[in-house]
Amino acid sequence: MTYTVGSYLAARLEQIGLKHHFAVAGDFNLVLLDQLLTNKHLEQVYCCNELNCGYSAEGYARACGAGAAVVTFSVGGLSAINAVAGAYAENLPVLMISGGPNTNDRATDHLVHHTLATHDLSYQLEMAKKVTCAAVAVISAGDAPGQIDYAIRTALREKKPAYIEIACNIAAAPCAEPGPISGIVADEPSDPEALQAAVTAAADFVRGKKKPVVLIGSKLRAAGAEKQAVEFAEALGSAVTVMAAAKSFFPEDHPQFAGIYWGEVGSPGARQIVDWADGVMCIGTIFNDYSTVGWTAMPSGDNVLTADVDRVKVNGSDFGCVRLRDFLSGLARTVEKRDASRVQYDRIRVEPPPEHGARSDAKLTRPEVIRQIRHLLTTDSTLLVETGDSWFNGMGMPMPGGARFEIEMQWGSIGWSVPATFGYAVGAPDRRIIAMIGDGSFQLTAQEVAQMIRRKLPVIIFLMNNHGYTIEVEIHDGPYNNIKNWDYAGLIEVFNAEDGRGKGLRATNGGELAEAINVALANHDGPTLIECVFDRNDCSPELISWGRQVAIANERASRPQ
């Protein structure tokens, strides 16, 4: 087979394990899309717009480890940038692949369409550099293999997005054959000396403590260290708490699991168990204003050990080039048992009260919606929750072992969940996929439900219609938090058109909701959207507390310089 730049790229996508890539066509990428289609092991999946395309690839990366979005120059690329930046914040290797103008139009007096009507054709590359870990523009077939490999390798190693622009007249140019993929997917090893020193220092840290506790953050997954975290936790024997963005990254049915550490809005007892500890081992954590509830819940000081993706800080030392996976398994072999925090947590552990369903004809409430969704969560389920009260509604759901929870908590861009759920469902067809999405967020990217219909994906969407931007109401209210109501359930018929099998249902009481869920479970030919209608004031108590603290943090006056 003779390779072209485009088929070289396709081969690399296939070799890193992708079975799909997401795309929106445009004249600068059409030849590239043709070239990608020549690879029979890769499926091209289309999106309604480039923002959604980026988010779909981001959701796919959550399910499959990496993702790719192919867009056209500028008008497409600039829309995708929000999603790509989100992938940066969320530590997901998403490849943003953009067509680019013809090489002959560079450094000439030609003006090209889809540009700023200036002769600068570099601005998209320059913008991409700010939100990716590697950004290349391919204008020569000879350089293409090196540039493509560099971008992909860097993205996979750093678990961050990368940008590859390919000029439209280069996409089908003959190109070298790809070599083995091993060098590209290989992880950088830890420095043995630094690793040993870090493990020894951490073991000393633990030896000096009576009641250490483990706190797991969302970078644990990016580090590929979930299994090693369990090994380490079992060797230590302590209580294990997780941050909100890391829900499900440590199995919730594990006997050492002590809940979500999220200050005053976390799960019962989790905050106390961290506050009472004399050593907090923070593993892959991200502390921001939201995750610390307006800076009110954040372990700090000498009693904190921080193990990040590739460095460890403990007892005033800082060890670089230490991979989290290696560190955790090294420590698992070395650490002395310290189970006091777990014993203590077992004493204060609050068992959930027995559940009473609401009367089936009583007006629907948020707790009743949550109660019914809980029963849907199986070991092969993934629950995606959108920014809004859905964060808080999702947080309290107990996840059976194997169930996954997805949240975009660092970037927090509303509209993420519809296309990310689509991308996740493409990547994980064997899982039961459930999304909880607020009405306000849904309005940003609603059209991607049409792609779920097109691909017959049996996703279940709970559209939480509380008539507005409730999360914003709790931070700071005003007329801008009111939105136009839609017929959300009715929208599915619009998307179905002549051939779709999606279902849209509206529930205003518990009985209707239970029936709608049964319909959803029986619908294998497309998504089911269940519009859950409840009161505007019916929000979680956790959101009210959190909103108050975030408002206080936002309102701090600027300090005189």
To ligand TPP, the closest distance from the beta carbon of 8 in angstroms equals 35
Single-letter code of the amino acid located at 493: E
245 touching ligand TPP, by CB under 6 A: no
In the bound state with Mg ion, the residue whose beta carbon lies nearer, of 93 and 438, is 438
289 touching ligand TPP, by CB under 6 A: no
Contact partner at residue 306 from ligand TPP, Mg ion, none, CB < 5 to 8 Å by partner kind: none
**Window 388-417: residues binding ligand TPP (CB under 6 A):** 388-390, 412-415
In the bound state with Mg ion, the residue whose beta carbon lies nearer, of 54 and 440, is 440
441 touching ligand TPP, by CB under 6 A: yes
In the bound state with ligand TPP, the residue whose beta carbon lies nearer, of 308 and 439, is 439
Q: Which residue blocks in 240-399 are alpha helix, DSSP H?
A: 270-275, 324-334, 340-348, 366-374, 389-395
Q: Among the candidate windows 124-132, 142-150, 180-188, 467-475, which touches ligand TPP by CB under 6 A?
A: 467-475
In the bound state with Mg ion, the residue whose beta carbon lies nearer, of 139 and 533, is 533
To Mg ion, the closest distance from the beta carbon of 418 in angstroms equals 14
**Angstrom distance (rounded) from CA 305 to CA 383:** 31
Angle at which helix 77-89 crosses helix 50-64, to 10 degrees, equals 30
Instruction: Return the residue of 24, 151, 324, 464 that touches ligand TPP, per CB under 6 A.
Output: 464
Contact partner at residue 472 from Mg ion, ligand TPP, none, CB < 5 to 8 Å by partner kind: ligand TPP
419 touching ligand TPP, by CB under 6 A: no
Contact partner at residue 390 from Mg ion, ligand TPP, none, CB < 5 to 8 Å by partner kind: ligand TPP
**Angstrom distance (rounded) from CA 216 to CA 270:** 12
In the bound state with ligand TPP, the residue whose beta carbon lies nearer, of 241 and 441, is 441
Instruction: Return the residue of 440, 458, 527, 547 that touches ligand TPP, per CB under 6 A.
Output: 440
**Angstrom distance (rounded) from CA 237 to CA 223:** 22
To ligand TPP, the closest distance from the beta carbon of 52 in angstroms equals 13
Q: Which residue is nearest to Mg ion (CB)?
A: 438
**Residues near 442 by Cβ (< 8 Å), separated by ≥ 6?**
386, 415, 418, 463, 488
User: Distance between the two ends of the chain, CA-based, in angstroms?
Assistant: 65
Q: Among the candidate windows 33-41, 364-372, 421-429, 461-469, which touches Mg ion by CB under 5 A?
A: 461-469
Instruction: Return the residue of 52, 381, 387, 417 that touches ligand TPP, per CB under 6 A.
Output: 387
Contact yes or no for 424/395 (Cβ under 8 A): no
381 touching Mg ion, by CB under 5 A: no
SS3 for 320? strand
178 touching ligand TPP, by CB under 6 A: no
Contact yes or no for 224/241 (Cβ under 8 A): no
In the bound state with ligand TPP, the residue whose beta carbon lies nearer, of 183 and 478, is 478
Q: How many CA atoms lie within 13 A of 494 on its CB side?
A: 11
- Name the phi and psi angles at 434, rounded to 5: -125, 135
Place of tokens 């540009």: 115
To ligand TPP, the closest distance from the beta carbon of 543 in angstroms equals 7
β-strand partners of 138: 166
470 touching ligand TPP, by CB under 6 A: yes
Place of tokens 């108050």: 548
User: Which pair of tokens denotes residue 306?
Assistant: 């921080």
Apex 19 CA angle, 26 and 43, nearest 5: 40
Instruction: Return the residue of 4, 248, 466, 540 that touches Mg ion, per CB under 5 A.
Output: 466
In the bound state with Mg ion, the residue whose beta carbon lies nearer, of 334 and 508, is 508
In the bound state with Mg ion, the residue whose beta carbon lies nearer, of 207 and 536, is 536
Q: Among the candidate windows 207-215, 292-300, 309-317, 383-391, which touches ligand TPP by CB under 6 A?
A: 383-391
Contact yes or no for 528/460 (Cβ under 8 A): yes
Contact yes or no for 305/277 (Cβ under 8 A): no
Place of tokens 């953009």: 98
* Mask for 401-440, x = binds Mg ion (CB under 5 A): -------------------------------------xxx
Contact yes or no for 418/385 (Cβ under 8 A): no
Q: Among the candidate windows 240-248, 360-368, 370-378, 437-445, which touches ligand TPP by CB under 6 A?
A: 437-445
Q: Rounded to whole angstroms, what are the CA distances from 380 to 311, 377, 536? A: 33, 8, 33
93 touching ligand TPP, by CB under 6 A: no
Residue 548: CB atoms within 10 A of its CB come to 15
Provide the binding-site residues for ligand TPP, judged by CB under 6 A: 386-390, 412-415, 438-441, 464, 466, 468-472
Provide the binding-site residues for Mg ion, judged by CB under 5 A: 438-440, 466, 470
